[in-house]
Amino acid sequence: MPAEVYALYTVSFVGSDPSSAVDAVEPGNARHLASARSGLLEVGGEPAYDDLVMLAAHIFRTPIAVISFTGAEDQWFTAPLGLYADPSPHDSCLRERAMLTGQFFTIDDAASHPDFAGSPEVHGKPFVRFYAGTPLFSDAGIAIGTLSVMDVVPRLIGPAERALLEALGRQVEQLLSLRMSVQTMLHDSSIAHSDLVHNQTRLLDVLDTITQGVVVHASDGSIQQANPAAECILGLSVDQMRGRTPIDPRWQTIHRDGSPFPGSEHPASITLRDGITVSDVTMGVAHPSGCRRWVLVTSTPIPSATGHGNGVLATFSDVTEMTVLNDQMTESLCKLTEAAQERAALLSSVSHDIRAPLASIRMMTEILEDRADAITGEQRFELIHRIRVEARRTEGVLADLVSANRVGIGLGTPRRQRVDLDELLTVAVREFANDDHVVCLGELSGDLWLWADRAQLERILDNLISNAIRHTPAGSTVVIGAVEYDDAVELSVEDNGPGIADNEKTTAFDPYVRGARSADRPGTGLGLYLVQQFAQFHGGRAWCEDAPGGGARVVVRLPLRSDAQPGR
């Protein structure tokens, strides 16, 4: 759409038969229309009409808007900017339905409307598709014209937008009444001036009711006026804003990604510089309360009588809540994606960790069943031992999954009872005895009776020992110890394997995290995570360190008291 054609407040719809405009009104209306015309042919130079047409076009975001008046044989316009360069009459092409019916009239898509599809304004320039108009009445109650907005694409109009257009139409009627009164009462200039001031006040009242922020910039970019909505959104009074420009550093504007938003990129700056409308730009603005307000800004040039730029009208809406909600939804989506990836990785790992021991158990039970007479007692004992080890391994994987799920839904509170830690350690050493690793007790000293959850302590021991065996080569030694220190017991499991890298000592306790050396080893990545969670449930904590003789040492500190706070 050529800018030189549609940067305007232009044409309206009128009847295809010029005489129909008069035929549809009462006898005697022609006198009112003639009177209206005599008082309106010179109206085009009044900025108040320009302002109302510009405001209508801006509020409805349509490229076409106009105040038009229809006589018996022709039509003429106020605010004749854009398509029509002067206020001279123009022949009618379409029916002025809003004026003739005296009611608000709208067409969602003129191209598909049986009455208007063939009209020149529809299939030719300016290619009007959408139309909405509110009738204008004289003081005598006679429909003499319309305030209309048009677009070149189909669209719908809601009740709130209709109310705004009707409100602006009433303002046109007030201005019209004032104009005609001035012509009939030139002898009393004081009355005319008073009416003009009153009408301008009414126009400001309309701006005061608009929920969008409205700011008027002068040609040098400085703010001249702002409505109450702008004051509320920005947290500044008109006096505080007056004189500020878009490049004023006090705005502290930022982009959505947090980077600075230069004042030269502000929509008002672009409009002042290039004379174009800039629509729907999101920016963050500093608020006096210390928070950040996100606004959606549109700026439009304010033309002067000469057609040159005369400032900028900037409107904006507070979209802070919508922006925050969008950020939260984006963050939630990322977390859901990460959780889905973790779950897929976990299922893959669990599938492998369960399938492998089950396959071993099946193979060894088949040997016991099919070759029972051919194997020695020692071989039978070894097979049974291996079956027991693989079954324990499978049981450990399932126990970790169940425990992680209980922790995740807040069901990990310990069920405390008196537990002999010395006994638990002895049982654990016996359970993990095998030919590949040496599992033995180290230093045991002090009071090793704890007020704790026995099942969680067993999971701590099982995970620490399994983890040490899994990440050390065959023939390595795993030493388990427990020593009392200051009303607490430090349970330790150390090995003489390759150890844990310094950058993994902290992340090792995160869920689903496996060290760089664990890629070729089974495991869910939940073992040390559950160790830390169970330790914190008891008011303790866990950490990794290097073993004195090389290798890794994992320590779990558990309080002897039952009233210790979690994590201490």
Structure tokens at 472: 């050390």
Please state, in angstroms and rounded to a whole number, the distance separating the CA atoms of residues 502 and 398.
30
Give the CA angle between residues 490, 496, 500 to the nearest 5°.
Answer: 75
Bigger pLDDT: 69 vs 15: 69
Bigger pLDDT: 558 vs 7: 558
Residue 9: what pLDDT? 30
Taking 50 as the threshold, does the pLDDT of residue 32 lie above it?
no
Mean pLDDT for the stretch of residues 240-257: 90
For residues 412, 418, 424, 426, the Cα torsion angle rounded to the nearest 10 degrees is: 170
Instruction: Encode pLDDT of 210-219 as tens digits.
Output: 788 889 999 8
Residue 403: what pLDDT? 64
Return all residues near 382 (Cβ < 8 A) that are at least 6 apart: none
Count CA atoms closer than 13 A to 546's CA, side-chain side. 7
Please state, in angstroms and rounded to a whole number, the distance separating the CA atoms of residues 304 and 361.
91
Q: Which of 283-287, 345-349, 416-420 has the lowest mean pLDDT?
A: 345-349
Diameter of the chain measured on Cα atoms: 132
Taking 60 as the threshold, does the pLDDT of residue 31 lie above it?
no
Bigger pLDDT: 383 vs 568: 383
Short-list 530, 531, 499, 533, CA closest to 515: 499
Please state, in angstroms and rounded to a whole number, the distance separating the CA atoms of residues 367 and 377.
13
Taking 90 as the threshold, does the pLDDT of residue 541 lie above it?
yes
Please state, in angstroms and rounded to a whole number, the distance separating the CA atoms of residues 16 and 27.
21
Q: Domain limits of the chain?
A: 3-209, 213-318, 321-410, 412-568
Of 175-179, 361-365, 488-492, highest mean pLDDT: 488-492
Side chain identity at 51, as an amino acid letter?
D
Taking 80 as the threshold, does the pLDDT of residue 164 lie above it?
yes
For the domain made up of 213-318, the CATH class stated in words is alpha beta
Q: CA 248, 252, 254, 259 torsion: positive or negative?
A: positive
Question: How many Cβ atoms are within 10 Å of 15's Cβ, its own excluded?
Answer: 21
Mean pLDDT for the stretch of residues 143-169: 88
pLDDT band (50, 70, 90) for residue 14: very low
**DSSP three-state, residue 526:** coil
Mean pLDDT for the stretch of residues 514-542: 72
Please state, in angstroms and rounded to a whole number, the distance separating the CA atoms of residues 473 and 468.
10
DSSP state of 260: B
Residue 26: what pLDDT? 42
> How many angstroms separate the first and last alpha carbons of the chain?
71
Q: Where are the alpha helices (DSSP H) in 371-420?
A: 377-408
pLDDT band (50, 70, 90) for residue 43: very low
Return the CATH number of the domain spanning residue range 3-209: 3.30.450.40
User: 3-state secondary structure string, 275-327?
Assistant: CCCEEEEEEEEECCCCCEEEEEEEEEEEECCCCCEEEEEEEEEECHHHHHHHH
Please state, in angstroms and rounded to a whole number, the distance separating the CA atoms of residues 26 and 36.
16
pLDDT band (50, 70, 90) for residue 396: low
Please state, in angstroms and rounded to a whole number, the distance separating the CA atoms of residues 79 and 458.
87
pLDDT above 70 as % of the chain:
71
Taking 80 as the threshold, does the pLDDT of residue 525 lie above it?
no
Structure tokens at 461: 């021991």
Taking 80 as the threshold, does the pLDDT of residue 267 lie above it?
yes
Mean pLDDT for the stretch of residues 141-145: 83
Please state, in angstroms and rounded to a whole number, the distance separating the CA atoms of residues 454 and 415.
8
Is the bond into 126 cis (omega within 30 degrees of 0)?
A: yes
Short-list 231, 242, 208, 225, CA closest to 288: 231
Side chain identity at 492, as an amino acid letter?
S
Bigger pLDDT: 530 vs 162: 162
pLDDT band (50, 70, 90) for residue 383: confident
Mean pLDDT for the stretch of residues 414-442: 86
**DSSP three-state, residue 482:** strand
Residue 461 exposed, middle or buried by CB count within 10 Å (0-12, 13-18, 19+): buried
* Length of the chain as a residue count: 568
CATH 3.40.720.10 fits 412-568, yes or no: no
Count CA atoms closer than 13 A to 193's CA, side-chain side. 4
Please state, in angstroms and rounded to a whole number, the distance separating the CA atoms of residues 215 and 225.
6
Instruction: Encode pLDDT of 67-106 as tens digits.
Output: 887 765 555 666 544 454 444 444 344 445 666 677 888 9
Residue 514: what pLDDT? 60
Residue 415: what pLDDT? 82
- Judge whether 220 and 273 are in contact, CB under 8 Å: no
How far does CA 422 lie from the centroid of its chain? 56
Return the CATH number of the domain spanning residue range 321-410: 1.10.287.130
Same fold, 3-209 and 412-568: no
Q: Where do we find the tokens 């893959």?
A: 348
Q: Which of 440-449, 477-486, 510-519 has the lowest mean pLDDT?
A: 510-519
Residue 464 exposed, middle or buried by CB count within 10 Å (0-12, 13-18, 19+): buried
pLDDT band (50, 70, 90) for residue 38: very low
**DSSP three-state, residue 559:** strand
Please state, in angstroms and rounded to a whole number, the distance separating the CA atoms of residues 453 and 431.
20
Mean pLDDT for the stretch of residues 113-120: 82
Whole-Å CA distances, 180 to 86, 173, 186, 280 = 21, 11, 10, 40
Taking 80 as the threshold, does the pLDDT of residue 288 lie above it?
yes
Instruction: Encode pLDDT of 465-493 as tens digits.
Output: 988 888 888 889 999 999 998 889 999 99
Instruction: Encode pLDDT of 44-58 as tens digits.
Output: 456 778 888 888 888
Mean pLDDT for the stretch of residues 115-134: 84
Instruction: Encode pLDDT of 402-421 as tens digits.
Output: 666 665 555 557 788 899 99
Residue 93: what pLDDT? 45
How much is the mean pLDDT over the chain?
77
Short-list 414, 424, 350, CA closest to 564: 414
pLDDT above 90 as % of the chain:
18
